[in-house]
Every structure is written in C-alpha cells, then in structure tokens.
Amino acid sequence: MISSKVNFKNKKLAYVCGVFALIVIVLAVIYHNELRLIYTSPETVKQFIAGFGIFAPITFIFLQILQVVVFIIPSSVFTISGGYAFGTVLGTIYSLIGIMVGSIIVFYVSRKLGRPFVEKIINKKELEHFDVFFKKRGKITLFAARAIPMLFPTDVVSFASGLTSLKLKDYIIFSLLGFIPNLFVLTLFGDELSHGINAVALVILTILGFAILGYLFRHPLKVFFIKEIKEYEIKLKTIKGKSLREIKNLEKGVKYEFHKWKKQLLIADKVITLLVILFFGLLSPDYVVIAAYFLIIPYLILTQRKVLFYHLMVSSAMALIWMLVAKNEYAYNQDFLTIAGINLFPLFAWATGLFAIYIIYSHYEHILNEQGFIRKLLLFIAFYFPFIIGAETIAYHLFNIKNLAAAAYQGLPICDCIHAPRWMQAAYFAMGPILFIICYILRLENPHFKIKL
C-alpha cells in the first residue's frame, strides 16, 4: 500500500510535510545506534516493545490511523513494522483496525469538504481515473482499488470514495475485503524479517519489488488494463492535441533560443566542476571547496540563474546539520581549517557537492517532461549515486584525502572508498535524495526546465 503523489498546490501542507520529513531525518541520524538494533538484534526490539504492554498495540494502531490521515509516510512501512513487532496475525489485525479507522476519517472529511478541498492535496489525474472506473464498475471498483494499491494508492481511494454516492456501510465492507490480502503479505514479510533473511522473505521481497515497479508505472498500466480509463485518456489526448498544436507554433521560435542558451550553460557548469576537481591536486582541498562555494554566488548572477540561490541555501543547511551531527566522525590526514570544532572541508564539500549535482541533474530533467515525482527522484539518484562514489574514490585514491577517524571501517567494495560506519555510508547515499525531496516539497524552480514566453 503505497501513498500517492501529493498535490502541493497547498503551500501550508508542503511546509508541514517538509518540516515533518526533516524532523524524521534528524532523529534517525541522532538515534542511528538504536535503529541499528532493528537488524542486529530483533529479539531485543521485540522485548522492548512488549515491555509497553497494552500501550504497544494501541500506539501502533494510532500511528496507522495517523499515517492514513496525514499520508506522508507510506503505510507499507508501518504495516511491515507491525509484522516485525507483533507477528503475522496480530500485526495484520492491528494494521487493519488502524487503516480502516483512518480511511473512514478520510472518507468523512472528503465528503464534508468536497472536491475543491480534495483537489488541493491529491493529484487530479488520480481522482479522474478513479471517477471514470467507479462510474462504470460501481462498488467493485473500491475492492479492486484496495486489493491492488500499486494502481490506486490508498489515500486517493479514500478521498475519491468520499466524493461518490457510495454508502458508508458499503465503503467499510469492500475496503475491509480489499485490505486483508495485501496487509497479510506485508505483515508476513515483517514477521519473516524478524527471523533474518530467508526464502520466504526473499520471495515476498521480490513480489514487493514488482509491486513498486507497478506503482512507478501505474498510469500506463491503468490505461493498458482498464478499458474505461483507456477510453477516457484517448478522448483527453484528442482534446489536448488541438490546443497543443496552436501553442507549439508560438513556442517554436522561443524554444530554439532557450535550448541554445541551456546547452551553453551545461558546458559552463561541467567545465567549472572539472576545474574545481583539477585545483584539488594543485592547492589545499579545503581552500578549494571554500573558494568554490563563495564563487557560486557571482557565477549564478552572471549566468542569470538567481533562482538557484534557494537550492544553494538548502544544500548549505543540509551540510551544516550533517556536520553538527557527525562532526566527531571526521579527522583527516591533512591539516584542514576548523571552526568551533567543525572541520570546514567536509562542510563546504557537502554544500558545494550537493548543489553541483543538483545543477547537473536539472539540465536533464526535461527528459521526463511532466512525469511524476518518483520518476524524477529516480533520475536524480541515477546522477547522484555515481557522483558520490566517483567523488569519494577520486578524493581517497587520487588526492590522498583520508578520514582517519573512520579508517578502521571497511569501505565500499571495488572502489574501496567511503570508509565509515554503516549508518554514515547510508547517510552519504541518502543526502542527495533528501536534497531533491526538500527542493521538490518547497517547489523550487528549475531555470533549465521552464520556457518563459
């Protein structure tokens, strides 16, 4: 059961989601040692949860209700953790209670506040697809949507159902029947994980992997498998095609100049990045990254991209928070500048590096045109992961920049880089996606993507 893409036209909701996500990230980093017990000592975690007695399932049910109403964290995360903590049977029951109560609340809110409110927080296309399917198939639509959450996300179904003529009794019955199968599978997976990775867990993990792929491509799958939605999309494309042809004629001249300017900027950005790397071998690395960071501002002004200042601010804030959390984990073999116990090399390297990879990615975002958040995130990750591995490998092997505080830890295979505790390695790979998510939530503009007529 995966949450849908949220429509962030409602800025207040976007800020709430952003703050919530930031709090979760900070807490996860601070309490990484406790979180490590989840996979190193499952029995310890279970005993800890059991120590709360009746309050443990009550708290879990409340969290399930909350995640349905707030829909920031996918419900699958909580459902799997329920199987891990309480076992397959009790985990399924507790999850079913919480999700049903939360879904009923959402159903009532949707019915009370109506479509204008719902369209502010839920993707309009998702609502239209459910409407088309429901008009043709009626109540069975609800069961199918609950049973196949990769095609119809839970929160969309709950909100969309409230906008129909469906009775509460029917809503509860068909939701209940649809929820049970996938909740059982998810809790079984969580239960198996508590015993270590085994054959059953691997099979379920494979199924979940295909389900996630199905979710990522749910729109073409719905068009392919559901006749009513296919007919609706064909009609929609016919209507849009007429107006788009007129607009394209007006944009043709502007597009040529825009793409010419964009290609020149891409070359300039790549050259600047390569120059920074080159200077690493000529000057002290900490002076290079500090100089590069402060030269970004006049460079953005010169290239008429002031809107990217916000991205730089987000990158800088993330780098500062990270260094406050992990400052004791850095002690290099070179004498770098420090202020208040914070090593300036990793601070400015993170701020500059995160910003640089976002800039490079932003040149290629047009590949996905108006695709959804998940696909754009995956494209960003496709840029970020090779970048972080490449940068760490070059720094470690070519420029001999080594973090002695973490030298005893095993690095990544093949590249032999990022020698650090597992939680730090995970954080390194998470920093880029977190930056992307925050920029997306704040709806920061990509100057390489939009053509202003």
Q: What is the dihedral of CA 64, 8, 225, 207, to 10 degrees?
A: -40
Segment 275-278 long-range contacts (CB within 8 Å, at least 24 positions apart) = 276/352, 276/356, 277/394
Q: What are the CA-CA distances from residue 401 to residues 367, 376, 395 (Å)?
A: 36, 33, 5
pLDDT per residue over 333-376, tens digit each?
Answer: 888 888 888 889 999 999 999 998 888 888 777 776 666 788 88
189-223 CB burial, b ≥16 within 10 A, e <16: bbbbbbeeeeeebeebeeebeebeeebbebbebbb
Amino acid at 108: Y
The residue extents of the domains of the chain are 11-225, 243-441
Instruction: Calculate what percentage of the chain has a pLDDT beyond 90.
Output: 10
- Structure tokens that stand for 366 in this block: 């047009």
pLDDT per residue over 246-275, tens digit each?
Answer: 555 545 544 444 455 566 666 777 777 777
Amino acid at 390: G
Rounded to the nearest angstrom, the gap between the alpha carbon of residue 183 and the centroid of all alpha carbons in its chain is 22
Residues of the chain with pLDDT under 70: 1-50, 71-74, 150, 196-266, 278, 280-282, 368-371, 447-453
Quote the pTM value: 0.47
- Residue 390 near residue 300, CB atoms below 8 Å: no
Residue 299 is predicted with a pLDDT of: 78
What angle do helix axes 55-70 and 75-86 make, rounded to 10 degrees?
170
Residues 6+ apart with CB under 8 A from 270: 360
